Amino acid sequence: MDAEPTPRKELSSAELGAAAHLYRGEVYRSTIWRTRLDTTTNWAVVTLGVALSISYAAPDASPLPLVLVGVLIIFFLALEARRYRYFNVWRARARWMEVHFYAPMLAEGDLHMEDGWQRTLAEDYLRPRYHVPFMVALGRRVRRNYLWILLIQALAYLGKIAVHPTPVASLDEALTRADAGPIPGEIMLLMGGLYIAAGIAVALWSKHDDRRRNRRRGRAKSDSMG
């Protein structure tokens, strides 16, 4: 015979009101941190725009600013991934209450309110933790925004070499234009290819990891957040 489910704690009217205010607070905090994510993305877009302006400002302008801006883009990406981990804490708590409290209540008995959902939420408040690793957060931000920024940066760099100020006549001329001081153009292009490939690889890995997490949650009763 199946074991009897653990009885749920019945919330009083005052506790229901407190839960509603708690939900509003988590939504507010997730909204604030979502705005901070947009801020770092805007910084990356603006700095890339400045590098484009400098590199295409004059016929003899160097494509080097389009390379150096990659350092800033990586810095903004790392900062945004860190902020995303904070955002995901508040978002996961709000989503947990939506799925396990509000949805069953609004469904008028068609959905079962999961046993122990309050305990899981209480544990998260007692011992706060990040719900996703840093690399997962990094990959999610690349998929959402930064992959497009990296591709635009790469296309602008290749366009600068190929057609500005005049179209290249040979591969040797293109490699000469790609030279950066003592670093040969071949090395610069190889490093650029690895730079874009690393971004794509992180994006694909995080997508695969998210699908694995979703399948795991679908097979078993959910007892974790995030």
Neighbours of 4 (CB within 10 A): 6
- In angstroms, the Cα distances linking 221 to 91, 214, 217 are 20, 12, 7
Contact call for residues 126 and 182 (beta carbons, < 8 A): no
Residue count (the chain): 226
Q: Roughly what angle, to the nearest 10 degrees, separates helices 64-97 and 134-141?
A: 110
**What was the pLDDT predicted at 9?**
62
Distance, in Å, from the CA atom of 152 to the CA atom of 164, rounded to the nearest integer, reads 16
Q: pTM of this prediction?
A: 0.86
Contact call for residues 143 and 136 (beta carbons, < 8 A): no
Positive/negative CA dihedral, 139, 192, 79, 65: negative
For the cut 80, the answer to whether the pLDDT of residue 86 exceeds it is yes
Tens digit of each residue's pLDDT (9 = 90 or more) over 139-187: 999 999 999 999 999 999 999 999 998 999 999 999 999 998 899 999 9
Tens digit of each residue's pLDDT (9 = 90 or more) over 182-226: 999 999 999 999 999 999 999 999 999 999 888 876 654 555 566
Side chain identity at 2, as an amino acid letter? Answer: D
Query: What mean pLDDT is predicted for residues 101-112?
Result: 73
Element housing 129 (H / E): none
Break the chain into its structural domains and give their ranges: 13-218
Non-local (6+) Cβ contacts of 141 within 8 A are: 37, 77, 80, 81, 84
